[in-house]
Amino acid sequence: MGARVPGARDPAPAQGGRLNTAPVGLRGASPEAPRPARRFSITDAVLLGLYLSAAITMAALSLEPPFVTPLWALVALGVGGSLVLVMRHRHPAAAFAGAMALAVASTAFGSGAEGMLAVGAMYLVGLRARPATAWAALGVALLLAAAGASALALRGTRLPPMLGSAPPLDPRDTLLDWLNFFSLVAALLVITTLLGINAGHRRRQLGELRHRAEQLARERDQQAETARAQERERIAREMHDVIAHSLTVMIAVSDGARLAADEKPQQAKEAMGRVAETGRRTLGEVRRLLATVRADDAEPPVPHAPQPDAARLPSLVQEFAAAGLPVRLTVTGRAPADPALGLTVYRIVQESLTNSLRHGREIRSVEVDVAWEDGEARIVVQDFSAAAQLLPAGERSPGRGLVGMQERVALYDGDIETGPHAGGWRVSARLRWHERGEGE
């Protein structure tokens, strides 16, 4: 409990007070967050090599006499296609536009090798972009495919030959040729786009699953840390109650034994025996509490004695009476079969009597009333003593014992009042246990 002047009491804390906890929000990186541009990888080198191999092979066929495709067009298209493949990660929009433009130009003046760039671009759009964006890009690609099909229908007549093919000798149906070329290219673009959208959907779904798994792992770690903190707080509260009570009793009994040692040696011996018994019991309780947080399996386990409950209130009061506190206990009603509730009532009475023994001045009597009613438990501990001396306003702070009582009461949706009354100091607590049991 907080520092105080001799005989001073803690000021009365605010009545009741529930412990509210709120889940901590977790903000992880969104699976849709933009990824940084990749560096040129081995896969990119393989794709560039495949494209150049196909472009060089088709250029060699296109340069066979006498139906030669212009060399400058083949070289320019090859350089442009290489640039598109190199910058497709850092500048995807520019790479898509370049691939489409090169594909149309290749159908008009080149070998047609750049058509694979357009197919690959549509797959990447379906893979990386949202479906609506992919379908919009497909619409643009189909318009360009229509222009490219028109150019293919004119190769060898109004436009340069392609792949060394001889111009047609007989008149051809240009519309039919255009329809055949367009149907083939459109089908290829649609299929590629669908494959890309399907792969992109799977990728995004897996990304969301990974993100959710990471988020759940973070929540699990935070919940585990919160549980550890709550357990540490519980153990600290129990340690305070056990040690503060036992030391207070031991000090009071030892002082009495010291004063009676000369005139009443037998009573002094008996008092020192009670001190030793209290110390051994306290040591056992401390070892039991520490054993709950000890992770060393090599040490022998400490036997877990049952926690005190409301049935041990008479022995608790008798122990304080033996320490010189004139205390009387009154219990009405029947305690429910709830070990946690019994421990809470026991600790509240124990802390209240400990405060009276430590800080009370000229105590004439202490009354402990515990009433078990329908759905509620009422505890009143009041001592009749000299007026309490409060600390100055700037130094007032509730001690750890009072805070512990508030926390215990809050677990049962109850309220507690502590403070001076007409004849001394009074602690009044109310626990609602019936409603809590129904809500479980």
User: In this predicted model, what pLDDT tens digit does every residue of 312-361 receive, in sequence order?
Assistant: 899 888 888 887 788 999 999 888 888 888 888 988 998 888 888 777 77
Q: Is the pLDDT of residue 161 over 90?
A: no
**Lowest-confidence range among 2-11, 155-164, 311-320?**
2-11
Q: For residue 29, what are the CA distances in angstroms to 24, 36, 127, 201, 211?
A: 16, 14, 20, 19, 7
**Lowest-confidence range among 11-15, 26-30, 57-61, 216-220?**
26-30
Name every residue whose Cβ is closer than 8 Å to that of residue 63 and which is 6 or more positions away in sequence: 69, 71, 74, 164
Which pLDDT value is given to residue 164? 64
The H-or-E segment that residue 91 falls in is none
Name every residue whose Cβ is closer than 8 Å to that of residue 92 and which is 6 or more positions away in sequence: 124, 128
For residue 91, count CB atoms less than 10 angstroms from its CB and return exposed for 0-12, middle for 13-18, buried for 19 or more. Answer: middle
CB 396 within 8 A of CB 357: no
Once rounded to an integer, what is the mean pLDDT over residues 50-56?
A: 87
User: How many angstroms separate the first and last alpha carbons of the chain?
Assistant: 33
CB 341 within 8 A of CB 431: yes
For residue 195, count CB atoms less than 10 angstroms from its CB and return exposed for 0-12, middle for 13-18, buried for 19 or more. Answer: middle
Q: What is the CA radius of gyration of the chain?
A: 44
pLDDT digits (tens, 9 = 90+) for 176-232: 878 888 999 899 999 999 999 999 999 989 989 899 989 888 888 888 888 777 767
Residues in the chain: 440
pLDDT digits (tens, 9 = 90+) for 97-153: 999 999 898 888 888 888 888 998 999 998 988 889 999 999 999 999 998 888 888
Q: Which two tokens stand for residue 414?
A: 């109850």
Q: Indicate the pairing of strand 8-9 with strand 424-432.
A: unpaired
pLDDT band at residue 1, thresholds of 50, 70 and 90?
Answer: very low
